[in-house]
Structure 1
Amino acid sequence: MAIISCPACQKPISDKANSCSHCHYEFGSASKEDIERKLSLQRYQKLQKLQNQSMLAILLFIVGCYFVFLGNFPDGDKGLMMFNVSVAVATIGFIWYVVNRARIAIAKRS
């Protein structure tokens, strides 16, 4: 019985195992091409998920900016609170977008 690296997570597993005990990646009796195809599909799905999150972050940023610049807030504490919430939403959307773009760049390198 030899120790090999899992094709998905690169952690050590037995060569007799049908799935990885760490990441639960099932490779069973799959050929090398099947394993590469599965890994490619997993990378594609991960990138799609990150891109979808980026689009949601952009939408959040746009909605926050819309209310900051075009919102007619009432005078007083309620208007100030609505303005602060709008700024917070725009800021969170922007930071989330930047973080996701960095995660996409890292995912594409590996």
Structure 2
Amino acid sequence: MAIIHCPKCAKSISDKHQQCPHCNSNIGELNSEQVQQLQREQRIKKQQMFMNHSFLALILFLGGFFCLYFLQPQKETLQWYAYTLAIGVGCIWYLVNRVILVTLKKKR
């Protein structure tokens, strides 16, 4: 008995299962071509999710930067800390997502 990943939901299941207990997909009836197609769709969905996260991170970064630049709050105030935090979190979040996307593309 080996542990495999469901081609539809990508959760761990036993290779003895004919139906995934998580998503109720009939994996016993799938041929190898259908399994590959489902895995390809899962990888694309995952890449799209990380692309969306990177766009949100970029918006957070740019929003903090433009607020800090144009509104010019006094240093050491709550607004200044909030804008600086938005810039830092947005930058780190963006970089992490881009690294994840690069590693996902190399796994092909």
Identify whether the pair has TM-score above 0.5, normalized to the shorter chain. yes
Give the corresponding residue for 2:15: 14
How many residue pairs align between the two structures? 103
Instruction: List runs of 5+ in structure 1 lacking aligned partners.
Output: none
In 2, distance between residues paired with 1:81 and 1:87?
10
Deviation at 1:30, TM superposition (A): 0.8
Of 71, 85, 91 in structure 2, the residue corresponding to residue 94 of structure 1 is 91
In 2, distance between residues paired with 1:88 and 1:10?
35
Deviation at 1:25, TM superposition (A): 8.0
- Secondary structure at the aligned position of 2:99 is classed as helix
Q: Which amino acid aligns with 2:87?
A: A
Give the corresponding residue for 1:28: 28
Of 80, 83, 88 in structure 1, the residue corresponding to residue 80 of structure 2 is 83
Cα distance per residue 1:45-86 (max 9 Å; x no partner): 00000000000000000000001111143x587xx2101110
TM-score by length of 2: 0.79
Give the corresponding residue for 1:65: 65
In 2, distance between residues paired with 1:34 and 1:76?
58
In 2, distance between residues paired with 1:24 and 1:107?
23
Alignment CA distance shift 1:33-1:25 (3 Å):
farther
Q: Which amino acid aligns with 1:69?
A: Y
Of 103, 107, 110 in structure 1, the residue corresponding to residue 104 of structure 2 is 107
Q: Which has the larger radius of gyration?
A: 1
Give the corresponding residue for 1:43: 43
- Once superposed, what is the RMSD of the aligned Cα atoms? 2.6
Alignment CA distance shift 1:72-1:32 (3 Å):
same
Deviation at 1:6, TM superposition (A): 2.1
Instruction: List runs of 5+ in structure 2 lacking aligned partners.
Output: none
Deviation at 1:24, TM superposition (A): 5.5
TM-score by length of 1: 0.77
